[in-house]
Amino acid sequence: MEPKELGNMRLKQLTISNVLIVIPIIIFFILISVFTITFAHIFFVLGVILLIQGVLGFIKGDSTRSIIPTFEKVAIYEKQKMGNEWYKQRKVGYVWQLILSSLLFLQSYLNQDSTDNGFQIEFMFMFIITFFILVMINISLVIHFRKVDHATKELDFKGYTWKSNLIAIAVGVVFALVMFVIALSYIISGM
């Protein structure tokens, strides 16, 4: 693939990925301002979404087909470039989706009798969290792009899946701690 074509494909992928994240967040903000939504509802809906994605991923198997043409093009390119590691990365991703789905269903069950009458948010706090999530996702995508695009042979990807998952877990823990500190300071300053 020519460098210019590759750059255009990656830019489209990044743009579409961001749109697919921002639109549901906007819809979520609209829904919680119009309806009373409990934590149990949110956990259940997110669990269903992840369950569907994970199951469809396993059903789809090694296919590169996608309803979004850019994602299909990316999948074909990365499958050719990464070889066996591409399969591993996808399967591990689907397993993580199913695990997270199970945890969300558990949270939904544990919160079903909560006395909390609805999900209420401080929009500035949610904007900050959304901003940090978008930054983290974009950084991880750019790192992935560089690794894949600069690799010259399939051997360059040996162990890539487990290394990237370990890094993702470490970054997730740090992010959770940072968000906890920000939330705690926000709550304390509001008192």
Q: What is the pLDDT of residue 121?
A: 66
Q: What is the pLDDT of residue 119?
A: 59
Mean per-residue pLDDT over the chain, rounded: 88
Asked if pLDDT for residue 165 goes beyond 80, the answer is yes
Give me the mean pLDDT over the 168-186 stretch: 85
Give percent of the chain with pLDDT exceeding 90: 51
> What are the tokens at 74?
């990316």
Question: How distant, in Å, are the alpha carbons of 82, 111, 162 from that of 145?
Answer: 12, 39, 17
Residue pLDDT, tens place only, 27-60: 888 888 888 888 888 899 999 999 999 999 999 9
Non-local (6+) Cβ contacts of 15 within 8 A are none
Q: What is the pLDDT of residue 127?
A: 82
3-state secondary structure of 68: coil
Give me the mean pLDDT over the 102-128 stretch: 79
Asked if pLDDT for residue 100 goes beyond 90, the answer is yes
